[in-house]
Amino acid sequence: MQVMLSDMTAGWQMYLGILFVLVVMYAPGGLAALFGSDARGLRGWDAPRHVLLLVPMLLASLGGIILIELGYQAGLKSSEGPIRVLFGVPVNALSLTPWLFASALVVVGLFGLRFAHDAADKPSARLREQTELPHG
């Protein structure tokens, strides 16, 4: 994995570090436990809810990737010039526009995650209310 990532970006260690932190925070048993073949691994899997969360998560991730790559180009790789090709598009790391665009993607993605999370929880909350036994 190191060889593939280092061929694509100088910031590969940043991406591995972020992946490591996310796995430790949200999947302490590791990726195998999260996506294991036994029923325990996918017990909390709710396909419609996870698909609903996928789009804003991808937007926020794309914005984060662009910000990291712009930061590397403007800082550590500044001797190579300000132009960085991201996803086939040449981008000037010293221009304000790509920074604002990437920041907007992150903000829209995070707000979208919040909205999608709330929207996905409404049906399950309604179902829990309907299945609860009356007290008394």
Q: How confident is the model at residue 65 (pLDDT cuts 50, 70, 90)?
A: very high
The full set of domain ranges for the chain reads 1-44, 46-136
pTM as predicted = 0.72
Rg (CA), the chain: 20
Residues 86-98: tens digit of each pLDDT:
889 999 999 999 9
How confident is the model at residue 12, as a pLDDT? Answer: 84
pLDDT in tens, 105-115: 999 999 998 88
Judged on CB neighbours under 10 Å (0-12, 13-18, 19+), 39 is exposed
Whether the pLDDT of residue 25 is over 80: the answer is yes
Whether residue 45 has pLDDT greater than 90: no
